[in-house]
Amino acid sequence: MAISKISGLKNVREKLLGYKLISVSRLTGIRLARLQALEADEGPPTVFEAEELSRVYGIDADLLADRPIRLSAKDVVQVFTDLDEFREVGDFEKVKIIEAANAARDVYELELLAGKQPNLPLPRIGYGSNAPPYQQGAEIAVKLRRRLGLETGPISSVRDLFRDRLPTVTLLYACLGREGPAALALADAHRPATIVLNMEGKNENPCVRRFSLAHELCHLVADWKPRQPLAILSGYYSDTALAQEQRANAFAVRFLCPQSELTSLPGKPLDAATQMMRGYGLHYSAARLYLFNERNAKLPDQPIDETTVSASIDHKWEEAEAPNGIFDFPLSAVPPERRTRVAILAASLYSRGQILRDRFAELLRLTPADELEKVLDFFDLNPPDSAAGTQGETNLS
């Protein structure tokens, strides 16, 4: 496995991640003067400092103490830092991306501890390498629908599709900033195939959320090479990622509304777009582009009648794609990316006495003094001293 060597903390911050010193100070709570001293190797960091730097840098605290710092080139954090798209986002968005990658790593470790296999393979879908990206996406959509045994009609919930047909994919939600990436797709030797959906920005619309999930699914089944790390920030169109993003967009719209369904849609473009939104859960921009590509039908960039569009977003799509376990989570201090898969795995293991209270709190980014029992109650689990026998695990998407 290829290893990259970095001389010290300053080069990790500046050359690898591109953080400003003031940003690291604000994000970790470590004073500027103290950070400068740590970067000058004037003594080792405290346990708290090492943990905070590890959280923000996405590198194990033990590795940060080494000189040089040795990082695997097959770790998604290392891969993210090589992307033009990662360099374009601000420090706040970068640290949120890193924290989501940290959560995925903890999912892997917790699933191993629970006796699960966290890196089971996904269906690998090929496509014509010489075709334009939109044709590649269309081909992948047809093949994957067939592979998953989906009928030609609408998908009632993309969120639930992962739970029912693609259970090896970890679905996390995070606040990546209104200007941050729409979603992340990531996987490596220590992280399961994971989609991280940004809850802010355009994904606040349930139909955009459906589209984003389908878009990331394309990256997992078509762009993830065997035994290689996957690290993709979606929503950016750099020269290197343009064809990949176009292919995933084409896949998403045709996965949600198969081309075979177009013949049954109304002839008038606006009526057809409205039906695609109401019946298939596409958002307006996706329906507009779809109709232009398939029928050469032209609709305005923005809908003329906002009320028509609002009415088209049926209440069922909000319910169908709601991020389960996020808004009703009992402890607001727990970051969103740790309220679902991390929380249920950690709570289940703690309930069975397989991890200590300190570790349970650490995984939720809390302290042992916090009301962790509320999390057990939320998942209908008993505390470890009263847990009897093996308990079933709550099925949470």
- Across residues 164-168, what is the average pLDDT? 95
- Specify whether the CB–CB gap between 373 and 364 falls below 8 A: no
Q: How confident is the model at residue 160, as a pLDDT?
A: 97
Residues 67 and 114 in one domain: no
How many domains would you assign to the chain? 3
* CA dist 197 → 148, 174, 208, 374, 375 (Å): 22, 6, 11, 25, 22
Encoded amino acid at 240, one letter = T
Residue 397 confidence (pLDDT): 44
> By percentage, how much of the chain surpasses pLDDT 70?
92
Query: What are the backbone dihedrals phi and psi of residue 145, each rounded to the nearest 5 degrees, phi first?
Result: -60, -45
Let me know if residue 166 belongs to a domain. Answer: yes
> What tens digit of pLDDT does each residue of 104-145 get?
999 999 999 999 988 788 999 999 989 999 999 999 999 999
Instruction: Quote the pTM value.
Output: 0.91
Strand order in the sheet with 183-188: 170-174, 191-198, 183-188, 230-234
Tell the residue number behind the tokens 């990949």, with chain if given. Answer: 244
Q: What is the CATH number of the domain that holds 63?
A: 1.10.260.40
* Per-residue model confidence (pLDDT) at position 249: 95
Query: What's residue 343's pLDDT?
Result: 98
Q: What is the pLDDT of residue 395?
A: 47
Residue 121 and residue 234 in one domain: yes
Q: How confident is the model at residue 396 (pLDDT cuts 50, 70, 90)?
A: very low
DSSP character string of 105-167 = HHHHHHHHHTT--TTPPPPP----TTS-HHHHHHHHHHHHHHHHT--SS--S-HHHHHHHH-T
Q: Cα–Cα distance between 374 and 393 in angstroms, integer?
A: 16
Residue 251 DSSP symbol: H
**pLDDT for 39-61, tens place per residue?**
999 988 999 999 999 999 999 99
Q: At residue 103, does pLDDT exceed 60? A: yes
* Domain membership flag for residue 274: no
Instruction: Determine the Cα–Cα distance for residues 15 and 6; give it in Å rounded to an integer.
Output: 9
Contact 256, 155 (CB under 8 A): yes
Predicted local confidence at residue 389, as pLDDT: 42
Q: How far apart are CA 359 and CA 384, in angstroms?
A: 13
Q: How many CA atoms lie within 13 A of 169 on its CB side?
A: 29
What pLDDT sits at residue 28?
Answer: 96
Residue 360 has pLDDT above 60, yes or no: yes
323: in domain? no
Give the per-residue pLDDT at 147.
96
- Give the number of other CB atoms < 10 A from CB of residue 269: 18
- The residue with tokens 């990331």 is 216
Q: Concatenated DSSP letters for 342-389? A: HHHHHHHHHHTTSS-HHHHHHHTT--TTS-THHHHHHTT---TTT--S
Distance from chain centroid for Cα 20: 25
Residue 9: the pLDDT is: 95
Rounded to an integer, what distance in angstroms lies between the CA atom of residue 339 and that of residue 225? Answer: 29
The stretch 157-184 carries a mean pLDDT of 95
Claim to verify: residue 154 and residue 210 sit in the same structural domain: yes
Domain co-membership, 167 together with 237: yes
Asked if residue 122 and residue 61 are part of one domain, the reply reads: no
Q: Answer yes or no: do 128 and 234 share one domain.
A: yes
Note whether 168 and 120 are same-domain residues.
yes
- Segment 353-363 shows an average pLDDT of 97
Instruction: Please state whether 133 falls in left (phi above 0), alpha (psi between -120 and 50) or beta.
Output: alpha
For the segment 13-19, the average pLDDT, to the nearest whole number, is 94
62 and 150 co-located in one domain: no
The whole-chain average pLDDT of the chain stands at 90
Range of the domain at 9: 1-71
pLDDT digits (tens, 9 = 90+) for 205-220: 999 999 999 999 999 9
Q: Identify the three-state secondary structure at position 391.
A: coil
Name, in order, each residue with C-beta under 8 angstroms of 267's C-beta and a sequence gap of 6 or more.
Answer: none
